Chains A and B, each alone.
Chain A
């Protein structure tokens, strides 16, 4: 049987973002996969060098569309580390709430993305409907639905609006009530289970070889490697939460982990609201107005746990109003770049989008 070349993305319902994979298929099986990056490439890292420290806050969320706040957080943390700024206690808790909310958004997105490869679009509709409500909450807090630009060096941009605590907690009470429905729809559904269980394996050796982190790593090697636990940032050392681990990583495990993480995130948000002190929400990053904010000479690596794994920025400052260099460690870079070429071959053609989704790939993180 002869080999057929198929284009998976950039225009494909199963593709995350504007990437393309050229699939060389024999029969139903992928024989060779070639990632074609660059569809989204806007030179983020280079652009960051041409923006002021504050101006970058408007640029960096674009490095991951589904989960933009991680960028703001690593950037803010890194700048604070170089400039040795202590931010107010309240800002830490607000940041934690925002970070967990955005993690839930990202997990909803990727759970919803199971729908198109499996043909059950209801999953996506439900997830997007819930995301919509959550994005309304984000709009009330930050002013925008997708690119929040809320976490800034020195704290957060503004105080939480009045009454937002009740709105968020009510939302989660309602959302928790629906989780069993989602589980019934997805994880007790034989048509989906048949596609997820014992399919698209991620062995521990591959994790070590590629450097996969996040859910992929935790589900494969049985170690709770989570940046929130290993090097706690914000106030993650003050709250209680579990990190699920397993030693057998198939598409099912990785997906059900997302549900468990959503529940843990809700737990963290509730604790954060209980523990959050009153007070200021930010301090000025430097003297003067934002056009003239400088960061002293120095460099740092700052990392957070994103929905897909360890997400980090390496920031170098030469003491000017703009960064000297910022390098991004995209959480999905290992599996999304090398992993696609090396380990996607062998899966069935219809599982290729599922591979892409459950491995946790966010294309802009690769194309940066």
Chain B
């Protein structure tokens, strides 16, 4: 039997002669190259217009195959680097981690993974929309939500709930704990796109990294290099950095502002002194007067003082701080954090001359005589007027004086402003929301209930105010009437009955100029016995004499200066902040820093020529 089986078994092999062979003939491989599977990790493809050059791919690449290369045809613009990734396929291991971490989602992989070439240069490429190899235009591997290597969700910020929040002026956001701050800091990829956009060019990745490492002293030092008011900025900065944050392309941007606040809140006083009170190596010679104790003035004072100049800061109000002190309500920026910033300035020897209004108590020319240079940053202390029917009624209030009075009340330095049971606020910016939410709190205190309506030309999606302001305001019970224009104030027996409105169809014309179009058919009235106007701020150039104005150029009320803040026509005078760039805190801080350097150069060149 065995013999028989052995004898016939070779015949079994014959059946394979009629089967398809398991191996492929060479012709097949040449003519019909195998097609890869749907998910294949092949050569990269990159949508160059979508790519922002953040370099996260190069950062994570385990084989260092990716190098970011500057492209000459791309301009330096906000929100991206003019760089794009190049791949060295001699090193690449096709792990696709670059795809999984890509912030913009532009980098993907094609189905092509066969490329035979005698030219090694062809294996060092900048990926574009398709790869020059068979299958190079078909999408292979792309990331899925599970494989994403970024953390798209913010660490949650503890906050007081809306209904509770409007009962007091206690700060709403409670601030990060150490765990939360470190988790949030770990989301940053360090691409530095934010640095370019920040007016002060703050060293953002560096201090975020310091938070992540748990090194608050380093974080503090990094912040003060470009911004001496991190406490103010940590609360109320307009955070242009977060708008352009690479993580924000697909998820929630890194909470840069809150991380800054975390450092300020948690760095002890001793650390401030240790890190920031270093002696000046080569003190500057000269005396500088700073006009205005707002963000720009404080910033300039800090940097001038750290360069060794004698700095006298003139402030019209009893306390320095500007808008941060007399505008922003305490639930957004409490005095304690503001004081922390200001106290350091006092410690390093900046002299505050409060209750001294330049132009009234002392003239600008007197300052010119007494000091070597003057930095002008008087800000926009006045509210812009609004022409309305019956607009001169005493119950029509303006934002800036009201906020200042309310803020004085909050710190116990003034009477409670009289608010009516029902009020209407006109405006759609952050100031309007500050006014509205302050009234809410005052009404709550006075009457136990609140009713505030906010009327804005812009619809909710294009409101200039920050989204968090809108959301928090609505949570507190603010009635927003977005997309309506104020027409006039209706009176009844000498008292305000309400605000007549008309539907606003569009706010801007095609050239993005302010040109509201109304629909006269859609009219309405919003009830309220007080009307608050918050439609912008105005400067108050009372210190300029006619002789000054002959030499100094003003354009739309804004002082014209060069790159370093030097006023055209008056070399001894520097200006910055809101009177130059319009209302913005961080711009003011940047202006102060620039002007300090400008003044330093000016004074040194003057002493050399003298």
A residues within 8 Å of B by Cβ? 51-52, 54-59, 125-126, 128-130, 136, 139-144, 147, 149, 155, 157-159, 161, 184, 190, 280-282, 284, 286-293
Contacts and interface: CB of A to CB of B under 8 A. Distances in A.
A159 B186 contact: no
Given A157-B146, A158-B144, A290-B60, A139 B39 contact: yes
Interface string B166-190: 0000000000000000110111111
A289 B150 contact: yes
Contacts of B150: 289-290
A289 B146 contact: no
Given A58-B63, A126-B22, A288 B186 contact: yes
A289 B144 contact: no
Interface stretch (B92-100, B116-124, B451-459, B539-547): B92-100
Contact of A149 (B95, B188, B190): B95
Contacts of A290: 60, 97, 100-101, 149-150
Contacts, number: 109
11 contacts: A129-B22, A130-B22, A139-B36, A141-B39, A143-B41, A147-B94, A158-B146, A287-B182, A287-B183, A290-B60, A291-B56
A136 B147 contact: no
Interface in B38-61: 38-41, 56, 59-60
A184 B39 contact: no
B303 interface: no
B39 A140 contact: yes
B131 to A, nearest CB: 16
Contacts of B97: 54-55, 57-58, 290
A140 B41 CA distance: 10
A59 B62 contact: yes
Which 3 A-B pairs have CB atoms at the shortest separation, nearest pair first?
A288-B186, A129-B22, A58-B95
Contacts of B212: 288, 292
B189 A125 contact: no
B607 interface: no
Contacts of A144: 40-41, 94
A51 B62 contact: yes
B4 interface: no
B39 A282 contact: no
B38 to A, nearest CB: 6
Contact of B149 (A129, A184, A190, A289): A289
Contacts of B182: 287
A158 B62 contact: no
A159 B144 contact: yes
Interface string B14-55: 000000001100000000000011111100000000000000
Contact of A291 (B6, B155, B189): B189
A161 B38 contact: yes
Interface string B129-161: 000000000001100101101110001000000
B187 to A, nearest CB: 5
B22 A143 contact: no
B249 to A, nearest CB: 13
Nearest to A293: B186
Contacts of A158: 144, 146-147
B387 interface: no
A171 to B, nearest CB: 14
Contacts of A58: 62-63, 93, 95, 97
Contact of B38 (A140, A291, A292): A140
A358 to B, nearest CB: 24
Given A140-B37, A143-B96, A157 B147 contact: yes
Contacts of A140: 37-39
A184 B141 contact: no
A360 B22 CA distance: 26
B101 A139 contact: no
Contacts of B146: 155, 157-159, 280-282
B12 interface: yes
Contacts of A157: 100, 146-147
A55 B39 contact: no
B382 to A, nearest CB: 46
Most buried by B among A184, A287, A289, A290: A289
A284 B147 CA distance: 10
Contacts of A136: 37
Nearest to B38: A140
Contacts of B37: 136, 139-140
Contacts of B23: 125, 129
A238 B109 CA distance: 38
A288 B187 contact: yes
Interface string B78-115: 00000000000000011111001100000001000000
Given A129-B23, A143-B96, A286-B186, A291 B144 contact: no
A289 B186 contact: yes
A153 B41 CA distance: 20
Nearest to B150: A289
Pick the most buried of A57, A125, A141, A143: most chain B CB atoms within 10 A of its CB: A143
A25 to B, nearest CB: 33
Contacts of B62: 51-52, 55-56, 58-59
Contacts of A286: 186
A118 to B, nearest CB: 16
Contact of A161 (B39, B183, B188, B190): B39
B40 A291 contact: no
Nearest to A159: B146
Nearest to A139: B37
Contact of B183 (A126, A280, A288): A288
